[in-house]
Structure 1
Amino acid sequence: MLALRLARGTHPLVLLRRLLVAAASAGVGFLLLATLGYALGHPDRGADAAVRLLWCAVPLAATVQFAVAVARTDPGARPLPGLSSAGLGPVRLALLGAVSTAVSCTLGSVLALLAFLLLRGDLGRAPFPGGPAELLGAGKPAPFAAVLTLLFVVPVLSAAAGALSLRPRKQRPGAAPDPQQPAAASEHANARATLFGGLPWGIALTAAGLALVSYAAGAPPAADELLPLPGRLDAIPPGAVGGWVLIATGLVLACPGITHLCGRLLAAGRPGALRLLSGRVLQEEAQRIGRPLGVLCAVVAAALAATRLYGSAPDGPGGRPFGPLTGMGAALVLACVTATVLTAALETKGARTDTTGALRRLGVPAGTLRRAAALRGAVTVAVLAPLTWLVAELAALPLTR
């Protein structure tokens, strides 16, 4: 009840983010129910139905990540003075954020159920003819327990991940900050950990993934064996799938260090005020925004590689077309990871509120701050876009020879 009362009085932008979480949950719920409908309509194709259910894990993970990012930026989950005396300490605030996330995802699951029943013709009207009726198993009774279980997957996982992300973290006695150590030295140590911690591992995993794809790729798959998501997995070598997983993991680990290097590049030499401000802020944001950027780069690279594979198919001028659920799942994943990056950027902006206020009091114009933000974004895109394209080309090349 408290979560609903807070939702009624919150800012419209916060409500919009929660509605986006509900929309993403609705998309994943519909994909899960479509998998159930396919299994009901094709009882002799249990392996294909299992593969379709496996592919739903990708949009499910993207949706959970987006829900956690929105929960972290929710003003209702931030500790405020006086809340502890009212019984809302850090633990209860984390539970409140988890409940708000579960409410948004449950709303999306309800919308997915309504769309599923409407397309199947279970709401008193005839099912849609053609593809939707066949994909959703129209005319076959859907088991209530299975539907309920699939619909609660997204709310339960999102709420659990949100609670873990918002939980209060106790600092270990050995990790307590040294009062004799200056703040600049501590920031320098964090910067070195960001740059030299995940970057070498990310580069190594990406290189290992590309090598594994090249080693596992044999003859190019035939036109009727290419992978329409969801579709068959036996057409793509398992080693190639493992290589793509390693590539995605490497990009996620390497992007914080790459973002930090972008900040160093901006502040290199004898920078002016604009470059110095942009570079320092980008170095400070590298750890928080680098992981979502890495996920976005991995998704874009996978999309480019899939487009390259389908475009090279000898079946027709444009290759084998993507299925309707394939396009829906791909659009959902891309939208979720993009929204996660934007939400992480909003979180970093909120974390710099005191610094921004100090700069404004010193007389820095608001236009200068906006130009610095635009410069940070332009440099990051200029570095990560060619890198993503290169990784996608190298990953798809062994399968298109």
Structure 2
Amino acid sequence: MLALRLSRGSHPLVLLRRLLVATASAGVGFLLLCTLAYAVSGPHPSDPALQRLAWCLAPLAATVQFAVAVARTDPATRPRQGLSAVGLGPVRMSALAAASTAVSCALGSTVALLFFMHLRGDLSGMPFDGDAAELLAAGEPLPLGAVVLLLALVPVVGAGAAAVALRPRRRRDGELLDDEPEYAAAPPGGLPWGVALTAVGVAIEAYTGRSTEGPGGTPGGVLAGWTLTAVGLAMAGPGIVHVCGRVLQSLRPGAMRLLAGRALMDDARRIGRPLGVVCAVVSALIAASALAGERPEPFGPLTALGATLVVACTVATLLTSAVEARQARTATRAGLLELGASAALLQATAMLRAVVLLAVLAPLTWAVAELAALPLRR
């Protein structure tokens, strides 16, 4: 109930972000229900339903990542001084953030169910009644338990991920931290492991692409390879951003390079992982577009919907993480302005950070895409 009241009283931009989470959840729920309808319509030896369900994991993961990013930037669920006295400490606020995420995702799942039933012809009185009855197996009953399980997947996973991401952390003396620790104290780890996982993912794609005839390789192998590549780039992202910041402020830097490099080092963990995931998605799109002309049949509408969800959620996650990083630098920005720094200098610093990241990550994304697509070309 408290989560609903906070949602009603939130800023319009916060409500818009929650609405976007609900929309993404609706898209994933619709994909899962379409997979269930495909499974109950009959056996499909050439295209098993389990394989289609596996392809829904990418939109699901992207939606959960976006929901966590929105929960992190929600001002209503941030710990504040004085709230602990009324029982809303860091632990309770993290639970509140998880509940808010579950409410948004559950709203999207409900919309997905209504839209799915409408296209099947189970609901009438609206346009497009039953237009996809044959595609969605309107003549076959759907198991109620499977429908509930699939629709509860996004709210449960999203709420759990938000609770884990926003859980209060402790120092060695046992004191609770309201937010993440200072980032600039130590460089983020994971860069060597991320590079290794990316290489393994590309190798799996190459192996599965050569092991079967026809363009595209084994779909399961391609999905597994791309998943490892995405996880590897997400792990390597914070380290790459941190290294960029360190290099940028080396060799007798001026004020602009020093500020830009320090900001990249401070924001490495906030924006590094979303940047890595965006690189993985863009590299997959480049590889898919290069192989589109070699496919015997075009991609279907559900594949297009899943790809749209992945791209939209990853880009929205990156933008939301950038907003979080900007909010974290509010006090630093105000202090610099009080010390006499000009607004033009701070804007040029932000532009320099964006240019450096683009100059480093764009060639990396293109190289991963080319390595992934090369073995699949015939």
| TM-score normalised to structure 1 length | 0.85
In 1: Cα distance, 2:14 partner to 2:93 partner: 17
In 1: Cα distance, 2:120 partner to 2:225 partner: 38
User: Percent same amino acid at aligned positions?
Assistant: 59
Number of the residue aligned with 1:348: 325
The 5 A counterparts of 1:289-308 are 289-308=271-290
Question: Could you list the per-position Cα deviations for residues 3-62 of structure 1 after superposition, in whole angstroms to 9, with x for gaps in the alignment?
Answer: 12111221111111101101110100110111112223x222276222111211111111
2:192 to 186, 196, 200: 200
Question: Could you list the per-position Cα deviations for residues 277-302 of structure 1 after superposition, in whole angstroms to 9, with x for gaps in the alignment?
Answer: 11110111112211111111111112
Check whether the contact 1:219–1:399 (CA below 8 A) recurs between aligned residues: no
The 5 A counterparts of 1:365-380 are 365-380=342-357
In 2: Cα distance, 1:114 partner to 1:345 partner: 34
Check whether the contact 2:30–2:112 (CA below 8 A) recurs between aligned residues: yes
Number of the residue aligned with 1:190: 186
Question: Could you list the per-position Cα deviations for residues 58-83 of structure 1 after superposition, in whole angstroms to 9, with x for gaps in the alignment?
Answer: 11111111111111111111111211
* Aligned residue identity for 1:158: G
Q: Does 1:112 align with 2:108?
A: no
- 375-384 or 44-53, which moves further after superposition? 44-53
Number of the residue aligned with 1:362: 339
In 1: Cα distance, 2:269 partner to 2:292 partner: 35
Number of the residue aligned with 2:74: 74
Number of the residue aligned with 1:179: none
Number of the residue aligned with 1:2: 2
In 1: Cα distance, 2:302 partner to 2:339 partner: 54
The 5 A counterparts of 1:2-401 are 2-40=2-40, 42-45=41-44, 48-124=48-124, 127-129=129-131, 132-173=132-173, 190-191=186-187, 194=188, 197-218=189-210, 221-222=213-214, 226=216, 235-236=217-218, 240-313=222-295, 315=296, 320-401=297-378
In 1: Cα distance, 2:94 partner to 2:225 partner: 37
In 1: Cα distance, 2:219 partner to 2:48 partner: 17
Number of the residue aligned with 2:179: none
In 2: Cα distance, 1:275 partner to 1:387 partner: 23
> Structure 2: which 5+ runs fail to align?
177-181
Check whether the contact 2:90–2:167 (CA below 8 A) recurs between aligned residues: yes
Question: Could you list the per-position Cα deviations for residues 140-169 of structure 1 after superposition, in whole angstroms to 9, with x for gaps in the alignment?
Answer: 333333222221111111111111111212
In 1: Cα distance, 2:68 partner to 2:142 partner: 31
For residues 13 and 302 of structure 1, do their structure 2 counterparts lie closer, same or farther at Cα, with a shift above 3 Å needed? Answer: same
Number of the residue aligned with 1:231: none
Q: In the comparison of the two structures, how many residue pairs are matched?
A: 371
Deviation of 1:370 after TM superposition, in Å, equals: 2.3
Deviation of 1:337 after TM superposition, in Å, equals: 0.9
Please provide the CA RMSD for this pair: 2.5
In 2: Cα distance, 1:7 partner to 1:213 partner: 44
* Aligned residue identity for 1:108: G
In 1: Cα distance, 2:244 partner to 2:196 partner: 20
Question: Could you list the per-position Cα deviations for residues 63-120 of structure 1 after superposition, in whole angstroms to 9, with x for gaps in the alignment?
Answer: 1111111111111111112111111111111111111111111111111112111111
In 2: Cα distance, 1:216 partner to 1:289 partner: 32
In 2: Cα distance, 1:243 partner to 1:48 partner: 19
In 2: Cα distance, 1:164 partner to 1:263 partner: 28
For residues 73 and 216 of structure 1, do their structure 2 counterparts lie closer, same or farther at Cα, with a shift above 3 Å needed? Answer: same
Check whether the contact 2:122–2:130 (CA below 8 A) recurs between aligned residues: no
* Aligned residue identity for 2:239: G
Question: Could you list the per-position Cα deviations for residues 233-283 of structure 1 after superposition, in whole angstroms to 9, with x for gaps in the alignment?
Answer: xx5176555433332222122221211222233323333322221111011
In 2: Cα distance, 1:166 partner to 1:248 partner: 23
For residues 274 and 56 of structure 1, do their structure 2 counterparts lie closer, same or farther at Cα, with a shift above 3 Å needed? Answer: same
Which secondary structure does the structure 1 equivalent of 2:36 belong to? Answer: helix
Check whether the contact 1:220–1:400 (CA below 8 A) recurs between aligned residues: no
Check whether the contact 1:217–1:237 (CA below 8 A) recurs between aligned residues: no
* Aligned residue identity for 1:399: L
Which secondary structure does the structure 2 equivalent of 1:269 belong to? Answer: coil
For residues 145 and 294 of structure 1, do their structure 2 counterparts lie closer, same or farther at Cα, with a shift above 3 Å needed? Answer: same
> Structure 1: which 5+ runs fail to align?
177-185, 227-234
In 1: Cα distance, 2:29 partner to 2:293 partner: 30
